[in-house]
Amino acid sequence: MALRAAMVAELGEDTIRSEAVAVAFSVVPRHLFAPGEPLDMVYDSNTPLVTKTGPDGKALSSVSAAHIQAVMLEQAGIEPGMRVLEIGSGGYNAALIAELVGPLGCRVHPLHRWSARTRRHAAQHP
């Protein structure tokens, strides 16, 4: 997808330093974790996306801006085979981590079951 490639290229200018993080952002389809959102917003590297709201309209869950996620993943130094504790919604960031740790790595997510989108992504990218 051209928008995803453009986001990765933009992040590569000042944020992404490792090939592994670049590949993870290139292969994990961010739009699957923000259904119904316009694709230009989904792939804008500085836009966080609200994914769940409460009855009062207040945000309950979100996908952080890709720029923030790239910074965190670069700082974490995640490598294939590592065990990673990811506490969150089990969405896009979990899928990025799954890509980084690879098939021999372990993603431990104790607070929530993985979302259907994360499971689908993991199944499509063993």
Q: What is the DSSP string of 47-104?
A: --EEEEE-TTS-EEEEEPPHHHHHHHHHHHT--TT-EEE--S-SSHHHHHHHHHH-TT
Provide the annotated active-site residues: 64
Instruction: Retrieve residue 92's tokens.
Output: 């896009």
Name 50's bridge partners.
Answer: 62
